[in-house]
């Protein structure tokens, strides 16, 4: 069916075909495979974020040894990379201006 426009709010991990005021952070053009991959990334971010939340309530487990936090950060970076790859020009410019992928060119491309 080809790539269709979708609206993404990375904070709420929402991907929608319908545009509204709360989901216009990023516009991407994606097919079913792209959507599945991005939703998996968002699910992993959610799982890591939940584990980090519970870890935060265990005072004897230092933050710097927190695998869940590292996984969340990597998941966030992977999601931004994928959104940048699929995004329209405004989305690509917005992500570039955020500085979250400053080393985008020096890293391996994301495998589909």
Q: Which of 43, 27, 31, 37 is nearest to 84 (CA)?
A: 27
Mean pLDDT is lowest, of 21-35, 45-59, 69-83, 86-100, for: 45-59
Task: Please name every residue paired with 7 in a beta bridge, in sequence order, or none if there are none.
Answer: 16, 27
**Residue 103, domain member (yes or no):** no
- Band of the pLDDT at 107, cuts 50, 70, 90? very low
**Residue 112, domain member (yes or no):** no
**Residue 80, domain member (yes or no):** yes
**Residue 50, domain member (yes or no):** yes
**Residue 92, domain member (yes or no):** yes
**Residue 108, domain member (yes or no):** no
In the three-class reduction of DSSP (H, G, I as helix; E, B as strand; rest coil), residue 112 is classed as coil
Q: State the total domains in the chain.
A: 1
**Residue 91, domain member (yes or no):** yes
Distance between CA atoms of residues 43 and 54, nearest Å: 17
What is this structure's pTM?
A: 0.71
pLDDT tens by residue, 58-87: 665 555 555 656 666 788 888 999 999 999
Range of the domain at 43: 4-98
Distance between CA atoms of residues 83 and 63, nearest Å: 28
């Amino acid at each position: 069916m080809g790539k269709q426009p979708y609206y993404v709010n990375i904070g709420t991990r929402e991907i929608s075909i319908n545009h509204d005021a709360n989901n216009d952070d990023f516009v991407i053009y994606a097919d079913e495979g792209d959507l599945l991959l991005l939703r998996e990334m968002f699910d992993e971010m959610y799982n890591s974020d939940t584990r980090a939340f519970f870890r935060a309530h265990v005072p004897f487990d230092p933050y710097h040894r927190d695998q869940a936090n590292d996984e969340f950060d990597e998941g966030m970076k992977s999601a931004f990379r994928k959104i940048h790859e699929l995004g329209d020009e405004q989305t690509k410019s917005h992500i570039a201006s955020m500085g979250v992928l400053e080393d985008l060119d020096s890293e391996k491309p994301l495998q589909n």
